[in-house]
Structure 1
Amino acid sequence: MEKASHLSVIVDLSPTQWHLSAQASNQYPLSIETFLSQLLAFLNAHIASKHENTLVVFGALPGKSVMLYSSTELLTDDMPPLDANSYLPFKLVDSTVVRRIMDELDAIGKLEEEPPCALVGAVTKALCYINRITHHSSTTTGVAEDPTTLHDPRILILSVSPDLSSSYIPIMNAIFSAQKLAYVCKVYGPDTVFLQQAAHLTNGSYIYLERRDALLQNLIMSFLSPPFIRKILAVPKQDKIDFRAACFCHKNIVDVGFVCSVCLSIFCQPLPVCSTCRTKFPINTLKRLNAARPAITPASSRMGVPLANLNNATMPRSTSTPVPNGMSNLR
């Protein structure tokens, strides 16, 4: 029997980035109004695919993340006026999502300095929501859940913001949690390093936002099919993944990093003492690593080179004792 499918959608609602996206100087401008009309058509298509399908929409706003819509937690205040000419589930999604987004954007107002978009918080809430609806406790329900009714969960991230290097550790922690729980993350947005890795690590898809006027077509072709159907479909994927990381000292994305052999922290330059675990490194090691540092050149993307590829050093394995007083050169 075909399983029901759950879709968690995370929408980037940064006012600054959407203002830039709507500029007429762009080759393919996309305003938030046009984006919402195409997004709602995609959400309605997901609901129409199967009656048991569930949906939740989270908004990543500056400094906070909120739930915009949930098909399993409908409130009486969210019920739209009855209209004989519209399908009620579609009307409910459209009116609730648009109203909540407009309310949140109006509440933000004009800020002198816009805080970063809380994408990590939205991803974390999506993981918690999926875990709650897919793992019902038998002590609460009293009966075992039928395996054919279990949801097939996936997360879709729609982003317009660039990478925020300071969120590297939180976003990777969230992605590793999704990977461990076998939740598929799909990303549609600009050229971002961390979201590329998120889609790759969870066996999802990353689609670069190039033709913004073809948003709905890309959403339906690439993200509408549930995971069990995607196994037999030729779904577009990103061939090259940028595996660069952000250093722990300055939160910059680095091409060449130096890894502490004790706690695996990444630094953009050799340090005498690890700022994370306080391990002290030998002077000779620091001199050798400083001498091996490449000349300063414009930053270039190291595409397709996994983070675990090390040069002139061996990283400690989790089953062995860490090598003390050592820092590895990461390229």
Structure 2
Amino acid sequence: MNHIDASEHYDESAFTGQTPSLLTIIIDTNPRAWAALNDTLPISKAIANILVFVNAHLAFGNDNQVAVLAAHTNRAVWLYPKSPNPDSVAGPDSQDVEMTGVDGRPSHPELGTSANKYPQFAQIETSILTSLRSLIDNTTTFDLKPTTLISGALTIALSYIHKTSLAFEPSKTSKDPANPTTAPSATLAAPTLHARILVLSVSDSEPAQYIPTMNAVFAASHARIHLDTISLHGMPTFLQQAAFITGGTFLSAASNPRGLLSFLMFGFLADAEARRSLITPTQDSVDFRAACFCHRNVVDTGFVCSICLSIFCEVPENAECLTCGTKLALGSYGAKPAVIPRKKKKKKRINGINGREETGSATGTPVPA
């Protein structure tokens, strides 16, 4: 039509593509925690619900991406995409073992050949199930610890998000093409990738991981990456603080773990851009307790170094900070306050007669007959 009447009917600059969204999911794969939830929500059903949630996220846009990590008791393992160096992450045989059945055929065949499944959905499902099965088979009795390496998984997720965001950034061009030494333009552009992290927690926060966890949380806050958390058991204190600091969403599904899919679809499907137009769930109260640097105990009150802000549950030896070595001046801490008796106010004399100080009246308060 534009060529027929020589007029502009459409403004191509007004039509812009959708900003890609990267969803990084961290699954708490603590064997002890999942054993306690086996009667209510087995891990197989939880993974099935997560796969439905992942497919819904990818269906929102062709450019949407997803990454899935497993936070185990002693390591963090990539479930999708597979780690380029599996030997250093999950052991020498964790990613290269071919899963075979009784008849010698692979127990998880390539689902991408099925005509009833979208190839990308089938590829992600195959990778997650295969990697998770390999992680479970390589877990020994020495790995059955009550703690979960959430801090390591958060660090790997932030590194992957940063690497992916660099691929979406536009190429930097110099001001003078003839002079390659000219500094590139430093103009600020709109975000090219919306990234967020979702943690599926089934265990409590470990006080020994307070420092690395909060370092990762503040790094995510600086990068404007929302950190969401859904808890199926217990109350992860540090992840609750992480959702508050980064502007994410924290939901506790401990009362109804079977409704995991409903929590995921209605509470975490919207990305950072869509949440601006929605009313997201909020926390009634946030547990801001911290872990001390000396004994790794969660404390309500403690001693804080004025130089490095280290927290101690009791006064360190010789009153020296264990982190920076600064001499701590406690002053008169612990001294009982001195009780000073209140001075009696003298009544003013008006015309030689004692009167009340407040009103200045010479007559006293009338007494009822």
Shorter-chain TM-score category? 0.7 to 0.9
Provide the secondary structure at the position in 1 that maps to 2:113: coil
Q: Which residue of 1 aligns with 2:363?
A: none
> Residues 137, 212 of structure 1: CA spacing in aligned structure 2 closer, same or farther, 3 A cutoff?
closer
Percent identity reads 34
**Which whole-Å CA distance do the structure 1 matches of 2:170 and 2:265 have between them?**
39
Q: Is the 8 A contact 1:8 1:156 kept in 2?
A: yes
> Residues 150, 72 of structure 1: CA spacing in aligned structure 2 closer, same or farther, 3 A cutoff?
farther
The CA deviation at 1:113 is: 5.0
* 1:10 and 2:36 aligned: no
User: How big is each residue's C-alpha offset from its partner over 1:136-157, in whole Å with a ceiling of 9 and x where there is no partner?
Assistant: 397989899xx67822101001
* 1:127 and 2:158 aligned: yes
- One-letter identity of the residue aligned with 2:192: L
- One-letter identity of the residue aligned with 1:122: A
Q: Normalized per residue, which structure has more helix?
A: 1
* 1:206 and 2:250 aligned: yes
- One-letter identity of the residue aligned with 2:159: C
List alignment gaps of at least 5 residues for structure 2: 1-15, 85-94, 99-108, 175-184, 337-369
- One-letter identity of the residue aligned with 1:199: A
Q: Which residue of 1 aligns with 2:235?
A: 191
User: How big is each residue's C-alpha offset from its partner over 1:179-200, in whole Å with a ceiling of 9 and x where there is no partner?
Assistant: 0011111011141210011001
Deviates most, 38-47 or 88-97: 88-97
**Which whole-Å CA distance do the structure 2 matches of 1:116 and 1:72 have between them?**
23
**Which whole-Å CA distance do the structure 2 matches of 1:112 and 1:180 have between them?**
34
**Which whole-Å CA distance do the structure 2 matches of 1:167 and 1:181 have between them?**
21
The CA deviation at 1:87 is: 1.4
* 1:276 and 2:323 aligned: yes
* 1:34 and 2:65 aligned: no
Q: Is the 8 A contact 1:63 1:115 kept in 2?
A: no
Q: Which residue of 1 aligns with 2:222?
A: 180
Provide the secondary structure at the position in 1 that maps to 2:325: coil
* 1:230 and 2:275 aligned: yes
- One-letter identity of the residue aligned with 1:175: V
Number of aligned residues:
281
**Which whole-Å CA distance do the structure 2 matches of 1:162 and 1:110 have between them?**
21
RMSD: 2.8
**Which whole-Å CA distance do the structure 1 matches of 2:144 and 2:333 have between them?**
40
The CA deviation at 1:260 is: 1.1
Q: Is the 8 A contact 1:44 1:93 kept in 2?
A: no
> Residues 150, 245 of structure 1: CA spacing in aligned structure 2 closer, same or farther, 3 A cutoff?
same
Provide the secondary structure at the position in 2 that maps to 1:155: strand
Provide the secondary structure at the position in 2 that maps to 1:274: coil
- Tell me the TM-score normalized by structure 2: 0.70
Q: Is the 8 A contact 1:270 1:289 kept in 2?
A: no
Q: Which has the higher contact order (CA 8 A, sep 6+)?
A: 1
**Which whole-Å CA distance do the structure 2 matches of 1:43 and 1:85 have between them?**
17
